């Protein structure tokens, strides 16, 4: 049964018109083919998010009405507030995608920021903006929970 993350990654791959990257025997990690695969994936994701932002702006302009009934006005304000929060999260994600694309251009993509090992093609397809390997990410989450509790 597919998990939400695997479904999401397949959605991202399909969005970019890509299939999961097939590694070849003896292939160097983060070679030009792999980097181009992730560049296309990230650009398609970024473009899709930008289209959503544009759609929201147009929707809010078209739907803006001055309702005489306070309940109707409040409902519209709540809807707009939810949309704006969603777009704010997407704006932050676009910045993270831009940062990741810069890392690809700087030849600094695909390796853990903490320990330096390969993050892995499958993990990066599931979460293209990942900058920690699964072990370091798990440790960071444990430390974060300990700091909160």
Whole-prediction pTM: 0.79
- Tell me the average pLDDT across 69-94: 86
- Tell me the average pLDDT across 73-99: 89
- Cα 17–Cα 20–Cα 23 angle in degrees, nearest 5: 130
What is the rounded distance in angstroms from the CA atom of residue 27 to the CA atom of residue 23? 7
Locate 118 and state its tokens: 């390969």
pLDDT at site 36: 95
- Tell me the average pLDDT across 51-69: 74
pLDDT at site 9: 46
Locate 19 and state its tokens: 């299939």
Residue among 57, 55, 43 at smallest CA distance from 100: 43
pLDDT at site 64: 66
pLDDT band at 5 (very low <50, low <70, confident <90, very high): very low
The single-letter DSSP state of residue 117 is -
Residue with tokens 């251009």: 105
**Minimum mean pLDDT range among 4-8, 65-69, 134-138, 141-145:** 4-8
pLDDT band at 125 (very low <50, low <70, confident <90, very high): very high
pLDDT band at 4 (very low <50, low <70, confident <90, very high): very low
pLDDT at site 10: 52
Give residue-wise pLDDT tens across range 32-44.
999 999 999 999 9
Residue among 64, 90, 62 at smallest CA distance from 77: 64
What is the rounded distance in angstroms from the CA atom of residue 97 to the CA atom of residue 118? 19
């Amino acid at each position: 049964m597919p998990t939400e993350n695997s479904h999401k990654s397949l959605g991202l791959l399909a969005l970019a018109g890509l299939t999961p990257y097939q590694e070849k025997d003896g292939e160097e990690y983060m070679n030009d083919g792999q980097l181009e695969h992730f560049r296309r994936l990230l650009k398609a994701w970024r473009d899709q998010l930008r289209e959503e932002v544009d759609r929201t702006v147009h929707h809010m302009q078209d739907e803006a009405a001055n309702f005489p009934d306070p309940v109707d006005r409040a409902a519209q304000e709540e809807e707009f507030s939810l949309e704006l929060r969603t777009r704010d999260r997407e704006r932050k994600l676009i910045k993270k995608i831009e940062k990741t694309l810069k890392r690809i251009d700087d030849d600094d993509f695909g390796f853990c920021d903490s320990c330096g090992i390969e993050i892995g093609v499958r993990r990066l397809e599931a979460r293209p903006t990942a900058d920690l390997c699964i072990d370091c990410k798990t440790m960071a989450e444990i430390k974060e929970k300990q700091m909160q509790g």
